[in-house]
Structure 1
């Protein structure tokens, strides 16, 4: 005959039931299927990230020109998929810094960025911000980034009179 104490130890054994285990596996499978699709389609994510970096670089160049009261050149290469900042005009492919590189904020390295694979510039603009923060030559500048050569990621516009970057 079983006693009350004996049946308590029988039922107080700890563990998970088969239903609980299967439910957890199903939920984990659904969540991983959703999360994996986010990590495998990184082209759009990388493209948007590079667009934001480029926008920040151009804004930084304009602010730096005003703060240091000197000309800052922005050069983007359509073929090399590179953008760089210098204090003097260099070749359009940003292959060298011309002896006057703009350092990356917080570092002492040349401020140059390469686009991810499948991301390119629509043109190869070379322009400068003068000490007043205006683009030189004094004309509006448009810098468009493309994914796969045809899908526009975004357009960076620099106003002619004010140098406002948006």
Structure 2
């Protein structure tokens, strides 16, 4: 596990982040040029090495409900990549994140398959050819699938 000092050294490799002290000796790092209200990239980095990186709904991460990934056990390379991805996420218009049609396959423990498909402005979930649910955003559809016990298995 990286120490607090090692994590801070890695975070400080990103000059676009601003350090802000918060309670109980914790620090946050903000990306002030964010296109969204959300500016926090590193959240509550604590001297014990615990902390979080905001990754929103990026599919390569298993983020908790607020889009945060715990970095307690992250390697130096993993931490750098998470921060790069977070900054890119906050610097990209939502529409640009999905320039091309998205089609993802999701499975649960019983091996049932659902397909998440972006169609126009909607995110539709299909069971075979039947429409199961429809959502206004990827994040809403992803949350529904995760709550129902499904995990993404691939992107087409």
TM-score (norm 1): 0.23
Q: Could you say which structure has the greater relative contact order, defined with CA pairs below 8 angstroms and 6 or more residues apart?
A: 1
Instruction: State which structure, 1 or 2, has the greater radius of gyration over its C-alpha atoms.
Output: 1
